[in-house]
Structure 1
C-alpha cells in the first residue's frame, strides 16, 4: 500500500506530467470511469492557471484573442508547471518562453507585450523607497553637482523594444483598435517604474536613454553632462541634461541623489 506522501507525489505527476499511474488508486464511479473523473482535475488545474495568466497578461490576451491565448496558456503550463505557492509568480517565465518558442519567436511584439506587462506587475509589487524630490536638489551646493550619483528607484526596470509594442499595448489598454505591427528603425528603451501606488512606463529618446543607462551604472552627473555634449552636441547640452533630470525627479524615477 502506498504511503500518503507517495500518493500525493503520484497524484501530482498525474496532474503535471500526464502520468496515469495514479489511476490505479482511483475508483470508477457509478456513472463515469476513472479516466474521466481524473480528467476533471487535470482540466481544472490547467484552466485555473490559464485564468491566472490571463489576469497577469490582460493586454496580451486581448491582442492574441481567446483561442490563441488559450493555446498559449496550455503550452506554457506544460513547459512551466506552477512551482510556487503564490500564483502571482506563475507567469514570470512567459516573456522568455515567447522569445524562445519557435511558434511565437517570429512575432516579437508578442514577447514585448508580455515583457511590458510583466515589468508593470513587478514594478507594482517592488520595494518601497523615498523618491528624490526637488527639495533634495535644492539643498545641494554648486560644488556637489559634478560628483552627484543618481540612483534609480528600486522598482525601475529597463526594457528594449524592436517593435511598436508600446503603442499596441496603449491602444489595447484604452480599448481602441491597436495600430498595425511595425518594426522600429532602431530599438527604443522603455523604463517601467512605480510612482506612488501606480506602475508606469515611459519610452526614452536615444539621448535620454543613454544618460539613464550611464546614470544607472553610477556615472556622476558631471560626466553625464559631458556625455550629453558628445551625444547630441554642445548647443543646449546643459539644459537638456537638466531637463532629463527634472523629469526623472518629477515622475519619481529616482530614489535619492548622493554627493561624493
Structure 2
C-alpha cells in the first residue's frame, strides 16, 4: 500500500470511522485504530470546551456534549492548528437550536473575543496626527480586530455576568434593532452593544471608508443637523476607543 493511500485511509477512519478504510488498514489494527480515534475525538471535544466555556455553562453539560459530538461528527479539522477548530461551532449551534438567538449571539461573542485577541496589532492614533486631516477626503481604516453583528437578545449582559462569575440574567429579546461590536484595544478585548445606527455606520465604513460618504449616509438617515452631529459623535467615540487604526487620504 502506498503511503498516500495509507494516510487517506487513516484520515477516513479518524473522521468518519469508515469501515472500508479500517478493512484496508487490516484486521490486526482494529484495537489500535479505536485508540487513535478516541484520542482524536477527545482532543476536538476538549478544543470546543476550551473555546466556549461560557456557552458550555449556559447550555449545561448534557446539551453542550451533544452539540460538540454533532460538530465533531460533521466537521473534521480544517487548519494546521486546533485554535481554528472552533470557527464553525456557532453555525452548528444555530442548526441544532434555530429558535435560540441568545445562544447564537453568546457563541458569537465567545468566538469573536478569542479571535480578536490574536488579531493583528494596531497602534492608537496620536491626537496630533488628526490636526491637519482633510475630512472631506479622508478614509477611515478600522482596527483589524474589529468584528460586529446584529443583536436581538441581551447576550452581552449574559456574557458579562458569566465572565465576572456572577449569576447571568434570564434571556430576553431586545426592543428594536441593536448590534454587537468586539475589538482589541492594546492588550484587552472589549465587547459593546451599539444601536442600529452605529452598527450600520460601522458596516458602511467597512465597505467604503470615506468619512464624507459616512456623513452623507447619516444625513440621509437622520436629517442634516442630526446626521452631522452623529457623525462627529461616532468619530470621537471610535477614535477614543481605538476602533480606528488609521486615517488615509482617499
Give the alignment's TM-score, normalised by structure 1: 0.84
Paired residue secondary structure (2:97): helix
Shift in Å at residue 50 of structure 1? Answer: 0.7
Checking the alignment, whether the CA contact within 8 Å between 1:191 and 1:201 is kept in structure 2 is yes
Match of 2:54 among 38, 54, 59: 59
Deviation larger for 9-18 or 126-135: 126-135
Cα 1:219–1:8, aligned 2, differ >3 Å: closer, same or farther? closer
Count of aligned pairs between the two proteins: 248
Partner of 1:31: none
Partner of 1:150: 140
Query: Are 1:71 and 2:66 matched, yes or no?
Result: yes
Matches within 5 A, 1:27-42: 27=28, 34=30, 38-42=33-37
Partner of 1:205: 195
Paired with 1:154 and 1:218, the residues of 2 have a C-alpha distance of 15
Paired with 2:210 and 2:36, the residues of 1 have a C-alpha distance of 57
Checking the alignment, whether the CA contact within 8 Å between 2:148 and 2:199 is kept in structure 1 is no
Query: Are 1:113 and 2:106 matched, yes or no?
Result: yes
Checking the alignment, whether the CA contact within 8 Å between 1:207 and 1:232 is kept in structure 2 is no
Checking the alignment, whether the CA contact within 8 Å between 1:151 and 1:218 is kept in structure 2 is no
Match of 2:115 among 122, 147, 166: 122
Cα 1:215–1:38, aligned 2, differ >3 Å: closer, same or farther? closer
Checking the alignment, whether the CA contact within 8 Å between 2:215 and 2:231 is kept in structure 1 is yes
Checking the alignment, whether the CA contact within 8 Å between 1:158 and 1:191 is kept in structure 2 is yes
Checking the alignment, whether the CA contact within 8 Å between 1:211 and 1:224 is kept in structure 2 is yes
Paired with 1:81 and 1:159, the residues of 2 have a C-alpha distance of 26
Shift in Å at residue 253 of structure 1? Answer: 0.5
- Residue deviations 1:156-184 (CA, integer Å, cap 9, x gap): 11211222111111111111121111122
Paired with 1:169 and 1:176, the residues of 2 have a C-alpha distance of 10
Deviation larger for 212-221 or 116-125: 212-221
Shift in Å at residue 187 of structure 1? Answer: 3.0
Shift in Å at residue 68 of structure 1? Answer: 1.5
Partner of 2:160: 170
Which blocks of at least 5 consecutive residues in structure 2 are unaligned? none
Query: Are 1:18 and 2:11 matched, yes or no?
Result: no
Shift in Å at residue 229 of structure 1? Answer: 4.4
Checking the alignment, whether the CA contact within 8 Å between 2:177 and 2:196 is kept in structure 1 is no
- Residue deviations 1:215-258 (CA, integer Å, cap 9, x gap): 33335334434544454455565444322212211111111112
Deviation larger for 209-218 or 158-167: 209-218
Shift in Å at residue 11 of structure 1? Answer: 2.5
Checking the alignment, whether the CA contact within 8 Å between 1:134 and 1:249 is kept in structure 2 is no
Paired with 2:8 and 2:199, the residues of 1 have a C-alpha distance of 49
Paired with 1:70 and 1:120, the residues of 2 have a C-alpha distance of 22
Which blocks of at least 5 consecutive residues in structure 1 are unaligned? 29-33
Checking the alignment, whether the CA contact within 8 Å between 1:158 and 1:190 is kept in structure 2 is yes
